[in-house]
Amino acid sequence: MTLRNIPLAIILLAGFTLFGKDPVTSPSAAPVAGGGTHAESFSPGSPVSPITPSGTRPFVQAWNVADFDDVISVGLEGNRDFRNGSRLFSAASCSACHQFKEYSRAVGPDLSKAGDKFSPRDLLESITDPSREILSPYGQMIFELVDGTLVTGRIVSLSGDTLQVNTDMMRPHELVSVDRKRVRTKTESPVSMMPSGLLNTLSKDDVLDLLAFLLSGGDKDDPLFSD
């Protein structure tokens, strides 16, 4: 299987997900301090933008790949808006988890080279439907405790019999402690930790500008932005 054939949602989660028969401690699993990002356009040093409340950005449409069948190719042949795409990297909450060049938060894997690995359609599909295909090494686990409590998330560290589980990738430092001796069962979750609906407050042109921004590697001189 080539990198181009691996869904982006899998790549997005790969860098900081640890689980298996026996969780182990890894340097990459340690909490990572957030870098700077922006609210309107790329600039280092500003706070990371969280998922935008629905009351702030109005719902536009629950986008899926089929909605872009008429423009997924011709809509990315130039004339995209670089400034808008860079702004939307934050507005769509990509920057809350992912490194992109020297900006944003290094919680998830670096997206700077997404354009080298994915076609526009593959990239869009992985964003709009992150749970469509999840390879087991990169998903989250469902832990059922002996008292019936369920904890779902990814293991970020293990100390003795204590698992530290991140249940929300948008808040990587908020961890739940799980005593491994109290785990009755653990199963792979069919749901990706990458939230769905991240594009639902964007217009069709907004989505295309964001795709162009990611595929270009943040290069304003890329042909995707030429007149």
For the domain spanning 3-22+32-49+60-135+194-217, the CATH number is 1.10.760
Q: Which of 46-55, 143-152, 213-222 has the lowest mean pLDDT?
A: 46-55
pLDDT in tens, 98-107: 677 765 555 5
Cβ neighbours of residue 51 closer than 8 Å, sequence gap 6 or more: 93, 96, 170, 195, 198
Q: Which of 8-12, 54-58, 138-142, 175-179 has the lowest mean pLDDT?
A: 8-12
Local confidence band at 80 (pLDDT 50, 70, 90 cut-offs): very high
> Mean of the pLDDT values across residues 85-90?
90
List the chain domain ranges. 3-22+32-49+60-135+194-217, 137-188
d(CA 217, CA 220): 9
pLDDT in tens, 3-57: 344 444 433 433 333 333 333 222 233 332 233 333 333 333 333 333 344 347 7
147-169 residues labelled b (16+ CB within 10 A) or e (exposed)? eeeebbbbbbbbeeeebbbbeeb
**pTM exceeding 0.75:** no
Domain 137-188, architecture per CATH: Roll (2.30)
d(CA 222, CA 95): 21
> Any idea what DSSP says for residue 10?
H
pLDDT in tens, 47-74: 333 334 434 779 999 999 999 999 998 8
How far apart are the two ends of the chain, measured CA to CA in Å? 36
